[in-house]
Chain A
Amino acid sequence: MTIYFDKVALGDKLPEWSRRTGFAEWNRYAAVNEEFVPFHMDDEAGRRAGNEQGAFGMGNLRYAYIVNALHDWIGDAGIVREVGCQYRAINQKNDVLTVVGEVTEKTVVDGENRVRLDINVVNQDGGATCPGHAVIVLPQ
């Protein structure tokens, strides 16, 4: 499916993109990003790092979820030009993380049809864990 620039309006919502996260997701991400940090792998290490619930997830994986949510919306004809975010809250085991976004700006820069969105990754309690923004390029 292709999303076209002139069909996108300010206020449009990014289709929600969710994953339940735990060791199955974190270990796979650790394997590809070589991110074998003890507090992501082991509950005791997580508690030693100050998180009472034990091991916790990687910020980089939340970033990947943002990128994936954008790609799944715009398809292979679109381009992810920019993504920025801050890591504000811990990703606990069995959290259901959902990427949300809203279109805030449409511009044409250097011949590119650019759409800017406010982005966040919220957990099952509605907690905002990762505020940020993205810029995508869409075909006319």
Chain B
Amino acid sequence: MSNDAPTYATEEMRAAQGQWGGTRTAPPITETDIRRWAMATYYPKQPPRIYWDAEYAATTHWGGIVAPPDFNPFAWPVERPRGGSPGLSGRRPDGKPLTGMNGGQTDTYGVPMRPGDIVSSRSRLVDWWEREGRLGHTLYVRTEIEWRNQDDELVRRRMSISIRY
């Protein structure tokens, strides 16, 4: 890319690349959180017993109730975390804000989440690239988000693509 090519990448992004941000910790997961999640995502059908029937779940290789892999223990925080620096998501040279879109994700799952688990999250900017698309000049930002439980076991690693134009 020549020096006068447009770029939405910022100095903040270059400084932050590869650096883990601060850790957030979710409240302890409860059986009710898991049951409600499963009921919502299976609605109007009944969810599998592994998500709500402790007696049945004890007979499986999991040994007890587990959460669906996509369960989000970070919903409903009492105190909402402040957003990161806008510069970390790119910026137009003229200073106008960029429009954002979720470009998708790949999640790798480690150990399951269970009632009583306390999950912590941290994230880092991995890399980015830019190209001319149907929305004009477009910035793709890849972020890694890592969840670990109270025993420091990996629960989930998400590679997320944010589209900014």
Residue positions of A touching B, CB distance < 8 A: 19, 24-25, 28-29, 31-35, 59-61, 63-65, 67-68, 71-72, 76-77, 79-87, 132
Contact = CB atoms under 8 A, between A and B. Distances in A.
B164 to A, nearest CB: 15
Nearest to A131: B104
B69 A85 contact: no
Contacts of B44: 24
Contact of B105 (A24, A65, A68, A84): A84
Given A63-B70, A68-B41, A87-B102, 18 more contacts: A29-B41, A32-B36, A32-B37, A32-B40, A32-B72, A35-B75, A59-B102, A64-B68, A64-B70, A67-B69, A79-B109, A83-B70, A83-B107, A84-B159, A85-B104, A86-B104, A87-B104, A132-B104
Contacts of A61: 41
Contacts, number: 79
Interface residues of B, number: 30
Interface string B12-37: 00000000000000000000010011
A68 B68 contact: yes
Query: Closest 10 interchain pairs by CB?
Result: A84-B106, A86-B104, A28-B40, A64-B41, A34-B75, A76-B60, A32-B40, A67-B70, A32-B37, A82-B108
B50 interface: yes
Interface string B60-94: 11100000111010011000000000000000000
